[in-house]
Amino acid sequence: MSHWKQPSKLAMLVVLLLLLCHAVDKVHCSTHHNNSQDFHSLLEFHKGITSDPNEALSNWNPSIHFCHWHGVNCSFTRPYRVTELNLTGQNLAGQISSSLGNLTFLHTLDLSYNSFSGPLPLLNKLRNLDVLFLGSNHLGDVIPDWLTNSSNLVDLDLSENNLTGHIPSNIGFLTKLEGIALYNNNLTGVIPPTLGNISTLEVVDFSANQLSGSIPNKVWQISNITMLNLGQNNLSGGIPDTLSNFSSLTALGLNNNKLGSALPSNIGDVFRHLNELYLDNNIFVGTIPTSLGNPSSLEALDLSNNHFSGKIPSSFGRLSKLQILNLELNMLEARDSEGWQFFDALANCSSLNILSVSQNLLHGPIPNSISNLSTTLQYLMMASNNLSGTVPPTIGKFSGLIKLSLANNNLTESNLIGRGRYGSVYRGKLKEMEVAVKVFDLEMRGAERSFLSECEALRSIQHRNLIPIITACSIVGTFKALIFEFMSNGNLDTWLRHKGDEEATRCLGLTQRINIVVNIADALDYLHHGCGRPTVHCDLKPSNILLDDDMNALLGDFGIASFYYDFETKWTCSSSSIGIKGTIGYIPPGRN
């Protein structure tokens, strides 16, 4: 019978230690830094950080292997080279050390959305770099020529910095580039023609700089491009007539430049997959090509503030996904039914949210077909034309309308039913219900306060003899309105003060007069004693007493109402006021 000796505890310990060391080496847990070059390069970068409010670099110390420092990724095998440094959005400040240029295995460098300043670091040795994101910092100086040494770059983002000077003319050497973003800088000079040599380009955004000159013809030959944004520069020239295959382009932004001449007649056929087209704030001339009705996916079209003339194409009616159509500030015409056909066609644009044709040469009455526009319409702008006639009552169907602008035309006010100190009241329709819309004139001092006072007064009171509010509309600083039920018999003043022979038959009987007095007395009793918070109307007069179908009287216009609190049986005003509140002759005693 053989006897096996138990292994000594010391021998077992040695074996376990050897295995543990091997495993530790595999997972980079050892504090021995296998690659001192990358280790020291990262430490030098760390020294350049002057602010780290989020403590993103709190574990960047020699006791931890650098491959486990926050934001650092390494290769999986010895000598464990740094392949990625990603510290985006950490609010870091300081200068980016050029020591990062020694991380020669680096594929991704993302320091975007921080507060780094100073020049771009020297990274000319990073020939393996695929992604360089330094956008949204405070980096200055010029874009260096050595950038093109990183010939494997796929994505480059230096946007939203303070970069100056020219875009390097040898940018075309980055032949693998798919996306380049240089927007929101202070770059000058021209767009390098060599940009057109990069056939892999999909996204180019040079907007919001000070670039000048024309758009190189080669740029219009980049076949794979999906987004080209050159807006907000000083570019001149135009869009060439020789456009051919641009079928990949989905977004084109050339707004806010000095581009001119006529648009190519086939622009909508060449850019047939466009989602967004912004050509506004330029000096384009001629007619709008009918082919712009052909890109079936077009959602936003802005041609405003140019010199376009002629008719608005009816072909826009084919743009079933169109949400924004801005044609304002041009010389577009509509003088007859043919010129207004575009309105009929736009009925097919079921997603239309914004339509502006303000400041053009549109003549005549607004077509009744306006009611066929999308019910999703929120902004309808037709100001400063030569419109005449009345506003179609069917415009009331747009219950989601945020802004309607018809100012500076020759429209009659057939729907106007009254004017007050702070605005006008119009008759309209809201979801098949007749309503009265009280629109406040915000240029009148006190109008906004009157709107707020009326909202405050009406939000918590309800009585059969108080005019019921349906809803309120408010756009900060631009538009405020209240919508009430429409009272078919107008106000008491029109029954007491006859205006011409046509009013001779409008006469109140004794019973009607008594009922009106009782109705208003009930309303005042409720306001003073029954609504939980005593309210004084402050402007009780015949024109603020409205009459419904059955000649019941309802009290309205709470724009200057005041709230009182009862302390020890004595009413006191909740807020002070300056000047006269109310109409002379109807101000309650003791109010001024």
Find the CATH number of the domain harbouring 552.
Answer: 1.10.510.10
Query: Does residue 415 lie in a domain region?
Result: no
pLDDT in tens, the chain (592 residues): 333 344 455 544 444 444 444 443 444 444 555 668 999 999 999 999 999 999 999 999 999 999 999 999 999 988 889 999 999 999 999 999 999 999 999 999 999 999 999 999 999 999 999 999 999 999 999 999 989 999 999 999 999 999 999 999 999 999 999 999 999 999 999 999 999 999 999 999 999 999 999 999 999 999 899 999 999 999 999 999 988 778 899 999 999 999 999 999 999 999 999 999 999 999 999 999 999 999 999 999 999 999 999 999 999 999 999 999 999 999 999 999 999 999 999 999 999 999 999 999 999 999 988 989 999 999 999 999 999 988 777 776 787 888 888 888 887 766 777 777 777 787 777 777 888 887 877 777 877 887 777 777 777 778 888 888 888 777 666 677 888 888 888 888 888 876 655 455 678 888 889 988 999 898 888 888 877 677 776 778 888 888 888 999 888 776 544 544 443 333 333 332 333 345 545 555 554 4
Known catalytic residue at 525: no
* Beta-carbon count within 10 A of 440 CB: 22
Query: Does residue 492 lie in a domain region?
Result: yes
Picking from 139, 167, 199, the residue at the C-terminal end of a domain is: 139
Q: For 317, how many CA atoms within 13 A lie in the half-sphere containing its CB?
A: 15
pLDDT number for residue 505: 60
Query: Does residue 426 lie in a domain region?
Result: no
H-run or E-run covering 42: helix 36-47
3-state SS, 301-368, equals EECCCCEEEEECCHHHHHCCCCCEEECCCCEEEECCCCCCHHHHHHHHCCCCCEEECCCCEEEEECCH
Query: Cα–Cα distance between 386 and 367 in angstroms, integer?
Result: 13
pLDDT number for residue 422: 77
Q: Which domain holds residue 113?
A: 26-139
Name which of 151, 152, 160 is nearest 133 in CA terms. 160
Return the SS3 of 108.
Answer: strand
pTM comes to 0.74
Query: Does residue 249 lie in a domain region?
Result: no
Binding region for ATP: 438
Picking from 93, 117, 139, the residue at the C-terminal end of a domain is: 139
Q: Which of 539, 548, 550, 557 is catalytic?
A: 539
Query: Cα–Cα distance between 358 and 407 in angstroms, integer?
Result: 9
Query: Does residue 49 lie in a domain region?
Result: yes
Query: Does residue 274 lie in a domain region?
Result: no
Q: Where are the alpha helices (DSSP H) in 173-331?
A: 267-270
Number of compact structural domains in the chain: 2
Query: Does residue 51 lie in a domain region?
Result: yes
Picking from 119, 139, 159, the residue at the C-terminal end of a domain is: 139
Residue 125's CATH number: 3.80.10.10
Query: Cα–Cα distance between 259 and 567 in angstroms, integer?
Result: 70
Query: Does residue 500 lie in a domain region?
Result: yes
Contact of 420 with 546, CB cutoff 8 Å: no
The DSSP bridge pattern shows strands 82-86 and 72-74 to be: antiparallel
Q: For 456, how many CA atoms within 13 A lie in the half-sphere containing its CB?
A: 17
Binding region: 438
